[in-house]
Amino acid sequence: MPVHGEMRPCARGHHCSDRQVVIDNGERITQPALTYRAYCDRDREHLARTISRLPQQYVELYQALPRSNGDGPKVSGSKAPPLPLRADVEALMRDMVHVVASWQKVIAAVAGLAESGPKRQGRALSDACRALAAHVDALLALDPWPVVRYMPLADAAKLGAASGFVFPHAGYAAVNLELGGADAGDELLYLAARCRSILGLTRRRDLLPVPCHACGYVAIYREETADGMQDEAYCGRCGETYTGAQWRLLQRLTYEEELARQAS
């Protein structure tokens, strides 16, 4: 990948996984990593991994769909987590297929790949994710490109002058937007965060007693896996993920918080 021009802050901003926190005049300032591309190397890797995992999350969403015959996901024990709402799960599954397919079309046009014919949605999603994960650099380097996004009317109203169609009875609008590479990355990471948030409802998870550094809310969860608790955590409110060094820092803060609580 050729490198041009000046280094700039990673487009993930205060969500950057390679961010540094500096103390200036007693104030904590978060600095995203500097990069020649839209995302720093660590976020680029994170995005590629996230895209590759989307098809599996789609399958898990399908399995989590509350069934009308009462045959939904099995939850056992007294600490049964609440079930997600069917409409939320279906809306997310539709958004995943739509957003991923739209970026696959753009990448196919830019990279000169053959367009594929109609397929079943789950299959289309995994093929599209494979194509995107293989072209993450081309995706992140995209100039603004016209795309259509479906959103609730309230969200569409916030965009102001954007053009599109309004479906008042459905409460939705189809809005024409111009989105580039960093927007594509943000959209895909946000889809994965919504999946985790909904799927998290079907699993046992611990709420950590420290605020999320990105949004400030106490909403960081650690999920249970088949063999214990996961060595990472995520914010259920803004989707921030805590892995690697960020996770170790979070563990230390949680530990200090616990010590302070016991001392008081």
CA–CA distance, 207 with 224 (Å, rounded to integer) = 11
CB closer to Zn ion, 142 vs 173: 142
- Which region, judged by CB under 5 A, interacts with Zn ion, from 8-16, 104-112, 127-135, 255-263? 8-16
Question: Is 233 near Zn ion (CB under 5 A)?
Answer: no
Question: Is 235 near Zn ion (CB under 5 A)?
Answer: yes
Which x/- pattern over 29-68 shows residues binding Zn ion (rule: CB under 5 A)? ----x------x--x-------------------------
Question: Is 141 near Zn ion (CB under 5 A)?
Answer: no
CA–CA distance, 22 with 62 (Å, rounded to integer) = 43
CA–CA distance, 141 with 50 (Å, rounded to integer) = 18
Q: Which residues contact 119 (CB under 8 A, 6 or more apart)?
A: 127
What distance lies between CA 19 and its chain's CA centroid? Answer: 18
Q: Which residues contact 9 (CB under 8 A, 6 or more apart)?
A: 16, 31, 32, 33, 34, 35
The length of the chain in residues reads: 264
CB closer to Zn ion, 40 vs 133: 40
| Residue 219 C-beta: closest distance to Zn ion, Å | 6
Question: Is 10 near Zn ion (CB under 5 A)?
Answer: yes
The site that binds Zn ion (CB under 5 A) totals a number of residues, namely: 14
Q: Which of 54, 128, 184, 214 binds Zn ion (CB under 5 A)?
A: 214
